[in-house]
């Protein structure tokens, strides 16, 4: 009897994923041409665009009527090869006619990361500097020209964290800001579970160095906290309890975001984000970052003109053009492409992450990014019919 029950249990364990795979294979393919731009691809895993490719594959959205998106090949940007070799296949190599053709062919554009690749990362150089010479990166003239073409043709444009940050030039940043009605304050930030340099050896050396340079060579922080970094290398630290009533940044969704885009009311976000000021006459705030400061923390932010609340998701979705800006590194989540081949895998999302782990980002993917992008992509597919 025990053996029979064990056999049934094992059979069910095998049958469930097998059925999920079969149902995924039976799901009809839908063609949607997505121009993915990623300039920060250190390995063929494509970490900076993996979340988008996961959803495209899971939803059976394909680049041709038959062929799906390949995470290692189907993007424009930096292509790593063996033995520290690489290829550059960004939009910079296109002439004006080729850019125009791409804007005709593409249904949407998604700039997942323009930060680029630096020599210290690619050649494993040991340096405490924030950057040490760039191999490739930043928003280019052709990137901006392509964005302008896509906007004029009313094609969907999605950009996210650091699209206009370093190493993009101030001139190109200004062009982007004018084009899409938003402004980067020059500040980026991130949550750290521990600011203790002994306990947390992964704290960036340049972060500590730049803070100490401006603060009498002192670094007194021991708890969790948020580090704000400016494009002028200023560093502002908000420490839990000292400056914060809740150490970890939260994203708070608007009514529109909850009802129309399937977003949760709120969710933690422990990774990099930038501080954006929107033009609310042009764009709508779908969700906002909120930094929970006490009186001391509020004063510290005010000293540097950093707001405690700012957009996490900006949207312009009107008859003239379609645009989203995600202020966090939303497309970079630790997910496996393998799981994208199983229909209804989201039913088991509670097994994918540990809610007690403040640093985990899988919950953000399953509960925020996936419903957001699935809804946006579904709308694009439906509009093509």
In contact, 329 and 161? CB cutoff 8 Å? yes
- Tokens 């989203």, residue? 324
**Long-range contacts formed by 43-49: CB under 8 A, 24+ apart:** 43/80, 44/71, 44/72, 44/80, 45/71, 45/72, 46/71, 46/72, 46/75, 47/332, 48/112, 48/113, 48/329, 48/331, 48/332, 49/75, 49/110, 49/112, 49/113, 49/331
Per-residue pLDDT of the chain (385 residues; tens, 9 = 90+): 567 666 666 767 778 889 999 999 999 999 999 999 999 999 999 999 999 999 999 999 999 999 999 999 999 999 999 888 999 999 999 999 999 999 999 999 999 999 999 988 888 765 555 556 899 999 999 999 999 999 999 999 999 999 999 999 999 999 999 999 999 999 999 999 999 999 999 899 999 999 999 999 999 999 999 999 999 999 999 999 999 999 899 999 999 999 999 999 999 999 999 999 999 999 999 999 999 999 999 999 999 999 999 999 999 999 999 999 999 999 999 999 999 999 999 999 999 999 889 999 999 999 999 999 999 999 999 988 6
3-state SS, residue 285: strand
Ramachandran region of residue 365, left (φ > 0), alpha (ψ -120 to 50) or beta? alpha
């Amino acid at each position: 009897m025990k053996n029979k029950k064990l056999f049934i249990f094992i059979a069910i364990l095998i049958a469930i994923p097998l059925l999920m795979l079969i149902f995924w294979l039976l799901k009809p393919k839908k063609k949607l041409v997505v121009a993915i731009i990623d300039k920060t691809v250190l390995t063929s895993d494509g970490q900076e665009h993996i979340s988008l490719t996961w959803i495209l594959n899971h939803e059976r959205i394909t680049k041709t009527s038959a062929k799906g998106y390949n995470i290692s090949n189907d993007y424009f940007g930096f292509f790593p090869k063996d033995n520290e070799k690489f290829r550059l296949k960004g939009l910079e190599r296109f002439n004006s006619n080729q850019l125009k053709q791409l804007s005709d062919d593409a249904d949407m554009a998604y700039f997942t990361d323009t930060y680029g690749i630096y020599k210290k990362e690619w050649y494993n150089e040991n340096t405490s500097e924030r950057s040490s010479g760039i191999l490739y990166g930043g928003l280019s003239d052709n990137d901006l020209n392509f964005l302008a073409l896509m906007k004029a043709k009313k094609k969907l444009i999605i950009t996210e964290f650091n699209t206009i940050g370093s190493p993009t030039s101030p001139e190109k940043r200004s062009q982007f800001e004018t084009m899409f009605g938003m402004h980067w304050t020059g500040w980026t930030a991130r949550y750290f579970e521990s600011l203790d340099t002994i306990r947390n050896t992964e704290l960036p050396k340049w972060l500590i160095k730049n803070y100490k340079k401006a603060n009498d060579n002192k670094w007194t922080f021991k708890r969790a906290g948020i580090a704000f970094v400016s494009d002028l290398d200023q560093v502002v630290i908000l420490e839990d309890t000292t400056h914060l009533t809740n150490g970890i940044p939260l994203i708070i969704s608007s009514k529109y975001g909850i009802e129309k885009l399937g977003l949760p009311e709120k969710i933690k976000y422990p990774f990099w984000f930038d501080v954006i000021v929107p033009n609310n006459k042009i764009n709508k705030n779908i969700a906002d970052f909120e930094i929970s400061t006490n009186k001391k923390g509020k004063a510290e932010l005010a000293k540097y003109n950093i707001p405690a609340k700012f957009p996490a998701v900006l949207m312009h979705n009107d008859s003239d053009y379609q645009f989203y800006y995600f202020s966090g590194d939303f497309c970079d989540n630790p997910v496996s492409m393998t799981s994208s081949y199983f229909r209804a895998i989201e039913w088991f999302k509670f097994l994918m992450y540990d809610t007690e782990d403040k640093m985990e980002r899988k919950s953000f993917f399953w509960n925020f990014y996936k419903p957001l992008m699935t809804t946006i992509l579904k709308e694009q597919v439906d509009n093509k019919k």
